[in-house]
Chains A and B, each alone.
Chain A
Amino acid sequence: MKKFLLAGTALGALVAIASAPTIAQQKTIKIGFISSFSGPQAVIGADMRNSFELGLDHLGRKLGGLPVEVIYEDDQVKPEVGLQKTQKLIESDKVDFMVGHIWSNVMLASLKPLIDSKTFTVITNAGASQLAGEMCSPYVFSTSWNNDQTPQAVGLYMNQKGIKTAFLIGPNYAAGKDMLEGVATTFKGQIIGRELTAWPTQVDFNAELSKARAARPDAVFAFYPGAPGVQFLTQYAQSGLKGQIPLYTAFTIDALSLPRLKDLALGIPGAQHWVRDLPNDTNKKYVADYRARHKADPAFYGAQTYDAAALLNAAVTAVKGNLSDKDGMRNEVRKANFPSNRGKFKYGPNHIPIQNFYLQEAVKDGDEFRMKTVATIVENDQDKHFQKCKMPN
């Protein structure tokens, strides 16, 4: 399927290039797309690409009436590679839009060329706090969140559950630090341990888990996105901690890791701004069509990227295809007046969504494991960095 899609995309691109001279009037919109397409995190990149393709298909593969060409590039989860690919897309492919980015550190490395070249960019996952604060840009929008918002919601839920002491663990990079800081902001109990592990190399957590056991906290909070999350939860069970100390998570259990985690994921709460069962029409169509095409649930990575297609469509439609009218596009997108699979939301002054965060849990539904919304933890949550953002208008 993947190969077929890739071949289809390549073919589409070729056709677009070949037919360009004959319909010189009609401009093709070029979109550069950066995500991880190799290594253990490639499943995330695939989820994002599949969702973006689905979003474009739902729009008839046109944005504001103009045909679209997408160039996918693999960042290999490395900031230097992400930067290189970003520069290539801007300078050599001369893309009109940039979409993607999973990793905060990769995104931060690529941010300067994006801002300097005034490339209209939609970040569909990476939520580094710098982007919400001092590094905000009039050309960059997020369809995701700021890193610390989701763990803040988890911290609030831990308060509700009467947790008095917590042990926090996450990877030692931009997002890991933001995440642990996020829990610490809202959690009212005492934090008796805070571990940062080498990223992305370390996936053996034995020493840290021994430390957590010795600290005897009421709860452990963990942030391990993607494949390392599977390792963390497996080793949490292996060490016998699973029955002893309740685990709370952010971005660790999702539709991509569930098929591998299965029973290991049950009973471990997490928070998210989007869950597969959110009852709005855009979401129902997105999840149903994604499942029909890929025989699996999309994850939040995909959901955010699906939204990027609708966002770009709204922007291009508002300026009637005049892509140089960046002010016009920005003013339209700021209204967040496009259908989103999370439901209605607003944009903060820093172009980060103001939105709800839900409590979610994995459930077993027949033979399939699925994510399920349990409750709303916080409504219309705005990140706490927006005042540091001096958005030039």
Chain B
Amino acid sequence: MLGPHPGVNPRPGDREESMLYLIEQCLNGIQLGMLLFLLAAGLTLIFGIMDLVNLAHGSLYMLGAYFAATFAGLTDSFLWGIALGLLATLIAGIVMEVIAFRPLYGRDHLDHVLGTFGLLIFFNELVRLIWGPAGLTISLPPQMLTAVQVLPGVYYPLYRLIIILTTLAVALLLYILVMRTRIGMLIRAGASNREMVGALGVNIKLLYTLVFGLGAALAGFAGMIQAPISFVQIGMGENILILAFVVIIIGGIGSIRGAFVAAILVGLIDTIGRVFLPDLVRHFVSYSAGSSAGPALSSMMIYMLMAAVLIFRPEGLFPANR
């Protein structure tokens, strides 16, 4: 039943068309990268400035999605859901920092891992108690259920385009905040030498709380914009947190710029690998074996990139303290 080259390059010979197809897939990769950036930005700041390994960062992603879904349900508006959800995640992040993280600063990384892993389990159970085991859904407004022509011949889902543009705006704001404001200067100073910043009379406690709240809001925002595409469910932040850690390792811990570049890199590699590797593998093994081995192989690619970065540039592509 299968054709001579089933599934392999859909329109062989049509250069222009395969170019447009590649552009569309790159947009898909960038969109995933943008999502990862939102998570990784907060993670890298917290890791870089407070020297804190936060395994519960994914819980904030989950909380953001639950808050947004709840508020969207109450107000019957997607945008209000996002706005109120953001505020709620910010508050949750600050409360979490004051209660649970302050005792952890300055302690061993193993203590961080144990403490924040406990928090992760705590939040999963808390969400189960409050919202039940089944999870929630956020529906997009019907106007978002269309695709727009971004280039002649390239159609892209409107909602995903909005995700890319919004996240770019957030990245720009973050850049301005970190590079052009006084708070940003303190944040950067904190990333390179914490003790010195404290010694110069800066209220380091307040700075930490601020950074943590910012990171929480970014993670929560990632959770809510992804929610209409995936599920709002317990443990939703755990898989994506692994990717976010990969991003900050590749990008260099503490570096926003590194997180941005690495997130897009990881998003692109993941998507392009998912799309083209199965076809490539099918050239060497049987069609159905290629269909199932391809996805498995493509999901390993980003880890290979991480391993390569660790071997050749252990401090990441954009080390923060240089």
Binding site for B on A (CB under 8 A): 37-40, 42-43, 172, 177, 181, 184-185, 187-188, 190-198, 201, 203-204, 206-208, 210-211, 213-216, 227, 230-231, 234-235, 237-241, 260, 264
Task: Tell me how far the C-beta of B141 lies from the nearest C-beta in chain A, rounded to whole angstroms.
Answer: 12
Q: Is B135 an interface residue (CB 8 A)?
A: yes
- Alpha-carbon gap, A91 to B251, bound state (A): 51
Task: Tell me how far the C-beta of A189 lies from the nearest C-beta in chain B, rounded to whole angstroms.
Answer: 8
Once the chains bind, are B10 and A193 in contact (CB under 8 Å)? yes
- Alpha-carbon gap, A195 to B10, bound state (A): 13
Q: Which residue of A lies closest to B3 (CB)?
A: A190
Scoring A42, A207, A216 by chain B CB atoms within 10 A of each residue's CB, the highest score goes to A207
Identify which of B6, B24, B160 contacts A238 (C-beta below 8 A): B160
Once the chains bind, are A240 and B134 in contact (CB under 8 Å)? no
Determine the chain B residues whose CB is within 8 A of the CB of A43 once the complex forms: 134
Once the chains bind, are B295 and A197 in contact (CB under 8 Å)? yes
Q: Which residue of B lies closest to A37 (CB)?
A: B133
Once the chains bind, are B229 and A204 in contact (CB under 8 Å)? yes
Once the chains bind, are B7 and A239 in contact (CB under 8 Å)? no
Once the chains bind, are A235 and B10 in contact (CB under 8 Å)? no
Given known A177-B288, A184-B1, contact A238–B295 (CB-CB < 8 A): no
Task: Tell me how far the C-beta of A322 lies from the nearest C-beta in chain B, rounded to whole angstroms.
Answer: 39
7 tightest A-B CB contacts, nearest first = A240-B147, A38-B133, A215-B10, A238-B157, A42-B134, A214-B21, A193-B7
Given known A43-B134, A172-B292, A206-B160, contact A195–B3 (CB-CB < 8 A): no
Determine the chain B residues whose CB is within 8 A of the CB of A181 once the complex forms: 288
Once the chains bind, are B31 and A40 in contact (CB under 8 Å)? no
Q: Which residue of B lies closest to A155 (CB)?
A: B1
Once the chains bind, are B137 and A192 in contact (CB under 8 Å)? no
- Alpha-carbon gap, A230 to B137, bound state (A): 10
Task: Tell me how far the C-beta of B133 lies from the nearest C-beta in chain A, rounded to whole angstroms.
Answer: 4
Determine the chain A residues whose CB is within 8 A of the CB of B147 once the complex forms: 238-241
29 example contacts (A-B, Cβ-Cβ < 8 A) are as follows A38-B134, A38-B234, A39-B134, A39-B135, A39-B234, A40-B135, A172-B295, A172-B296, A177-B288, A177-B292, A185-B1, A190-B1, A191-B1, A191-B3, A192-B6, A192-B7, A193-B7, A193-B10, A194-B7, A194-B291, A198-B299, A207-B25, A210-B25, A235-B229, A237-B145, A238-B140, A238-B159, A240-B146, A264-B145
Q: Which of B123-179 contact A (CB under 8 A)?
A: 133-135, 137, 139-140, 144-147, 155, 157-160
Task: Tell me how far the C-beta of A180 lies from the nearest C-beta in chain B, rounded to whole angstroms.
Answer: 8
Task: Tell me how far the C-beta of B52 lies from the nearest C-beta in chain A, rounded to whole angstroms.
Answer: 27
Determine the chain A residues whose CB is within 8 A of the CB of B146 once the complex forms: 237-238, 240
| Further contacts, 16 of them, CB under 8 A, given A184-B2, A238-B157 | A40-B135, A42-B134, A42-B135, A190-B6, A192-B6, A192-B7, A195-B291, A196-B295, A198-B295, A204-B229, A206-B160, A207-B25, A210-B24, A227-B135, A240-B146, A241-B147
Taken residue by residue from 53 to 78, chain B's Cβ proximity to chain A (1 for < 8 Å, 0 otherwise) reads as 00000000000000000000000000
- Alpha-carbon gap, A239 to B288, bound state (A): 27
Once the chains bind, are A187 and B1 in contact (CB under 8 Å)? yes
Once the chains bind, are B6 and A194 in contact (CB under 8 Å)? yes
Given known A216-B10, A227-B231, A235-B229, contact A195–B159 (CB-CB < 8 A): no
Scoring A184, A195, A196, A210 by chain B CB atoms within 10 A of each residue's CB, the highest score goes to A210
Determine the chain B residues whose CB is within 8 A of the CB of A215 once the complex forms: 7, 10
A-B contact count (CB 8 A): 135
Identify the stretch in B87-95, B198-206, B207-215, B270-278 within 8 Å (CB) of chain A at 4 or more residues: B270-278
- Alpha-carbon gap, A215 to B275, bound state (A): 13
Once the chains bind, are B230 and A211 in contact (CB under 8 Å)? no
Once the chains bind, are A260 and B10 in contact (CB under 8 Å)? no
Determine the chain B residues whose CB is within 8 A of the CB of A240 once the complex forms: 146-147, 155, 157
- Alpha-carbon gap, A210 to B17, bound state (A): 12
Q: Which residue of B lies closest to A43 (CB)?
A: B134
Determine the chain B residues whose CB is within 8 A of the CB of A37 once the complex forms: 133
Identify which of A207, A227, A235 contacts B274 (C-beta below 8 A): A207
Q: Which residue of A lies closest to B2 (CB)?
A: A191
Determine the chain A residues whose CB is within 8 A of the CB of B17 once the complex forms: 214
Given known A240-B155, A240-B157, contact A210–B288 (CB-CB < 8 A): no
Q: Is B11 an interface residue (CB 8 A)?
A: yes
Q: Is B47 an interface residue (CB 8 A)?
A: no
- Alpha-carbon gap, A214 to B146, bound state (A): 17
Determine the chain A residues whose CB is within 8 A of the CB of B157 once the complex forms: 206, 235, 238-240
Scoring A185, A197, A198, A264 by chain B CB atoms within 10 A of each residue's CB, the highest score goes to A198
Q: Is B233 an interface residue (CB 8 A)?
A: yes
Task: Tell me how far the C-beta of A277 lies from the nearest C-beta in chain B, rounded to whole angstroms.
Answer: 27
Q: Which residue of B lies closest to A200 (CB)?
A: B231
Determine the chain A residues whose CB is within 8 A of the CB of B286 once the complex forms: none
Once the chains bind, are A40 and B291 in contact (CB under 8 Å)? no
Once the chains bind, are A196 and B158 in contact (CB under 8 Å)? no
Identify which of A197, A211, A238 contacts B144 (C-beta below 8 A): A238
Once the chains bind, are B21 and A39 in contact (CB under 8 Å)? no
Once the chains bind, are B6 and A204 in contact (CB under 8 Å)? no
Determine the chain B residues whose CB is within 8 A of the CB of A187 once the complex forms: 1
Q: Which residue of B lies closest to A206 (CB)?
A: B28
Q: Is B43 an interface residue (CB 8 A)?
A: no
Once the chains bind, are A239 and B155 in contact (CB under 8 Å)? yes
Task: Tell me how far the C-beta of A244 lies from the nearest C-beta in chain B, rounded to whole angstroms.
Answer: 9
- Alpha-carbon gap, A206 to B231, bound state (A): 15
Determine the chain B residues whose CB is within 8 A of the CB of A211 once the complex forms: 10, 21, 25, 275
Given known A43-B134, A238-B159, A239-B155, contact A210–B28 (CB-CB < 8 A): yes
Once the chains bind, are A214 and B158 in contact (CB under 8 Å)? no
Q: Which residue of A lies closest to B156 (CB)?
A: A239
Once the chains bind, are B292 and A196 in contact (CB under 8 Å)? yes
Given known A240-B147, A260-B137, contact A203–B1 (CB-CB < 8 A): no
Identify which of A194, A195, A198, A214 contacts B287 (C-beta below 8 A): A194
- Alpha-carbon gap, A181 to B140, bound state (A): 34
Given known A192-B10, A193-B7, contact A231–B31 (CB-CB < 8 A): no
Identify which of A188, A191, A231 contacts B230 (C-beta below 8 A): A231
Given known A43-B134, A230-B137, contact A203–B28 (CB-CB < 8 A): no
- Alpha-carbon gap, A177 to B248, bound state (A): 36
Determine the chain B residues whose CB is within 8 A of the CB of A238 once the complex forms: 140, 144-147, 157-160
Q: Is B219 an interface residue (CB 8 A)?
A: no
- Alpha-carbon gap, A196 to B290, bound state (A): 10
- Alpha-carbon gap, A215 to B135, bound state (A): 35
Taken residue by residue from 282 to 308, chain B's Cβ proximity to chain A (1 for < 8 Å, 0 otherwise) reads as 000001100110111001000000000
